[in-house]
Structure 1
Amino acid sequence: MALLEDRTAVFIIRIWCERGDADSALGEWRGSVEHVQTGERRFFRHLEHALAFMQPHLQGIGIDGRQRFWEHIAAAIDPEPGDGAALEAVAVPVTVSPPRPRKRR
């Protein structure tokens, strides 16, 4: 089990919308990212800051920041190209809509 733990980074990412005091105020997206092994936590307003926090921890387990994650995983699983068992990485765009405002009673 120690080998798996040496090559694992675990993060908890929370994202929420903070609204202003006025009903018409636009919400602002915020978040936090926590590295579970160290307990370190950072708060962010831009997703890039969460990624910047995660990068040194990922580099510590051998993931090169210039290499896409799935390319790294595929190389670890199938180091011999051409044997037919290679993984295919597919990027899927995700659209996140802000939550609808709740009706006040």
Structure 2
Amino acid sequence: MYRLNPIRRRVVRNQVAFVLTASLAVPFLVFEAKLMLRVLDSAFLDSLSVAGATTVLTLVSIASICVFLALWYGVFHLISFLLGKVVLPKGATFLKRLMA
């Protein structure tokens, strides 16, 4: 089995986890955009004053950003942890060259 040194293994694991997490984040961002459009089109905002509508939109934006960052952080560390348990097979020449 081919073993990387601990620092290089952590760097590669974090890079792979970042790419996987970013690819998983795209559907969430699309959902978030659709949610914001629904909030903008709702009759609830029409019944509020300008200040009230601005406050609601600001709170929804802050909440969605917090949820997104929490999910990003959790998924990133989960993927990173799972990748840390993977041992590269001896024939993984592409990864060996990548690490060199």
Please report the TM-score for the alignment, with normalisation by the length of structure 1.
0.30
Which structure has greater helix proportion?
2
More strand by share: 1
Q: Taking CA–CA contacts closer than 8 Å with sequence separation of 6 or more, which of the two structures ends up with the larger relative contact order?
A: 2
Q: TM-score, normalised by structure 2?
A: 0.32
| Structure whose alpha-carbon radius of gyration is higher | 2
